[in-house]
Amino acid sequence: MNAEIQAAPHAALRILIIEDDPEISRLVAQFLRDKDYHVTAVGDGKAMRAVIAAQAVDIVLLDLMLPDDSGLDLCKQIRATCGARIIMVTALASLSDRVAGLDSGADDYVSKPFALPELEARIRAVSRRGQDGPDQSNDGVIRFGGWRFDAKRRILYSPKGVRITLTAAEADLLQAFQKNAHQVLSRPQLIELTRGKGEDVSDRAVDLLVSRLRRKLALGGRQLEIIQTVRSDGYVFNPED
């Protein structure tokens, strides 16, 4: 099944539906689009992997009973490759099925048949997790000000869905800033936080690294002031909430 993509009229949660029943997929997608979500709908694991590789996804609605793929395996793949929240949607409603789904990495579980308003309520509930400032969830993804940072893979996703790959040094610097948001960090402090005590790194090298990270943040549509220079003191990281 080919992916259907329709942009919401304003910034919104990006939802990926993985459902092989065309009618259910169409109904859910249209309901969510009417609520101004950005929705992509696919029918199998291959199309799912293509979407996740190409764009940022916030919420995945995953059907467990797909003809050619194990929903549990797909859930594990999603958890391993991106920071999206996962809601399993399936006719399998036994306790053992729910436990298996949650154990494979799902954040929530909805049984068919379901009411569309309830589904949206669950989407809102899981999306609220990790939105109150910098937060590292169990999947290793750090969220701040609409951005998502997969520290393990060194991939940063902008609020607009732009995917940015960081070097190891840039990733270490971003994590140091995130853990000390809204605090002025001197150049020696940044060296200690990213390289360890006793490292012979010049202040100029720190400035160049900050400049590189700023440029990459700008690629995602973010202005440079997310990392502000404090004259004679260092830098401060001010993500928007």
**What pLDDT digit, counting tens, does each position of 133-151 carry?**
444 444 567 877 778 888 8
- The string of DSSP codes covering 190-218 is HHHHHH-TT----HHHHHHHHHHHHHHHH
Q: Taking residues 143-170, report their average pLDDT.
A: 81
Q: Is the pLDDT of residue 42 over 70?
A: yes
Euclidean distance between CA atoms 165 and 187, whole angstroms: 24
Of 11, 10, 139, 163, which Cα lies nearest the Cα of 84? 139
Q: Is the pLDDT of residue 201 over 70?
A: no
- Report field, pTM of the whole predicted structure over 0.75: no
Please report which confidence band the pLDDT of residue 11 belongs to, taking 50, 70 and 90 as the band edges.
very low
Strands (E) located in 78-136: 85-90, 108-111, 135-136
Enter the tokens of residue 156: 């940063």
**What pLDDT digit, counting tens, does each position of 57-74 carry?**
889 999 988 888 888 889
- The DSSP output letter for 225 is G
Euclidean distance between CA atoms 196 and 17, whole angstroms: 44
**Do the strands 59-63 and 14-18 form a parallel or antiparallel pair, or are they unpaired?**
parallel
**What pLDDT digit, counting tens, does each position of 80-119 carry?**
777 788 898 887 666 677 777 777 778 888 888 899 999 9
Q: Is the pLDDT of residue 9 over 80?
A: no
More confident residue, 180 or 132: 180
Please report which confidence band the pLDDT of residue 34 belongs to, taking 50, 70 and 90 as the band edges.
very high
Residue given tokens 């010049």 in the structure block: 202
What the chain holds in terms of domains, given with CATH numbers, is: 4-128 (3.40.50.2300), 135-237 (1.10.10.10)
Describe the crossing of helices 22-34 and 116-128 by its angle, rounded to 10 degrees. 60
More confident residue, 107 or 11: 107
